[in-house]
Structure 1
Amino acid sequence: MNTSENVGTKKSGKLGKILSWIVVILLIGVSGYVYYKYYFVFGEGVKSGYLNYAVKKGNLFKTYEGKLIQEGFGNSKKGPGISSNEFEFSVENDSIFRLLELNSGKYFDLHYKEYHGVLPWRGNTRYIVDQVIHMQ
């Protein structure tokens, strides 16, 4: 066997190992970023207010969207005075959406999860309501 062939095979074997490790590290990095951005729950909480609307909308992905009007004092964008706070959210669960849709205008306590990013099939907002705690 020729020694120059051996050296060439060893070099290409090392290069292949290095490239495969780089690909593995990149895949792990991209997977970690995607998980953190779109699936990691950044925050959870409860918002209370009057349900302004609950709609199903979207061009490609039909998602459930809603808005709560929260009472209280706030900074009005048009100058000093009283304004309401709005909480826009998305809903993944059909049964929760039906409950909201049938009770528009009522006072709700909604449990939500907050994500860093928005997925088009999950909704138009980073806030996903996953539970109705109380309704009046």
Structure 2
Amino acid sequence: MSKKLLFGILLATTPLLTGCWTVQSGQKSGIIVKVAKEGRYWGTWEGELIRGGLDNASGATGREFHFTLGQFKSDLVNQAISAMENNRHVVLRYHCDQFVLPWSGETKCFVDNIKVLETVKTPVKAQ
């Protein structure tokens, strides 16, 4: 009887510990500087976004945002790779879960959507 009870408790708590609790969601903008498949046992696509500091060529680097794109090479991964290779400014829509399983990703933040922004031209100053 105790094995059935233990199995029932495990079965009931597993959904609570596998990403059902979204603790943060939102958008971040910047330039993607890394997209790679990482992981010792289960490879997941991971990325890094630099927020600010790169546009004015001041040499100052912005803050990093590490995120997970998923386990399989999807359209989202291809879009991130293309934006990185072309040095395009992007807006990431993401959510962060309280608990994640080891095969879900290296981070707790998962990207839901990537919007590649059009290049912004700087206005020419009149003399």
Same fold (TM over 0.5): yes
Note if contact 2:48-2:66 (Cα within 8 Å) is conserved in structure 1: yes
Quick one: distance in 1 between partners of 2:12 and 2:97? 15
Q: 2:81 maps to what in 1?
A: 101
Quick one: distance in 1 between partners of 2:117 and 2:29? 10
What runs of 5+ residues in structure 1 fail to find an aligned partner? 1-15, 73-81
Q: 1:36 maps to what in 2?
A: 16
Structural RMSD (CA): 2.5
Quick one: distance in 2 between partners of 1:91 and 1:120? 14
Listed as ranges, the matches of 1:105-120 within 5 Å are: 105-120=87-102
Quick one: distance in 2 between partners of 1:96 and 1:116? 23
- In the alignment, does 2:105 pair up with 1:123? yes
Listed as ranges, the matches of 1:10-89 within 5 Å are: 23=5, 27-28=8-9, 30-40=10-20, 41-71=22-52, 84-89=62-67
Change (3 A) 1:103 1:32: same
Note if contact 1:36-1:116 (Cα within 8 Å) is conserved in structure 2: no
Aligned to 2:104, the other structure's residue is in SS state: coil
Aligned to 2:106, the other structure's residue is in SS state: coil
Larger proportion of helix: 1
* One-letter amino acid of the counterpart of residue 67, structure 1: E
TM-score by length of 2: 0.69
TM-score by length of 1: 0.65
Instruction: Pick 1 or 2: higher relative contact order, CA cutoff 8 A, min separation 6.
Output: 2
Note if contact 2:51-2:65 (Cα within 8 Å) is conserved in structure 1: yes
Q: 2:122 maps to what in 1?
A: none
Note if contact 1:115-1:127 (Cα within 8 Å) is conserved in structure 2: yes
Paired residue total: 107
* Identity score, percent: 24
What runs of 5+ residues in structure 2 fail to find an aligned partner? 54-59, 119-127
The structure that has the greater radius of gyration is: 1
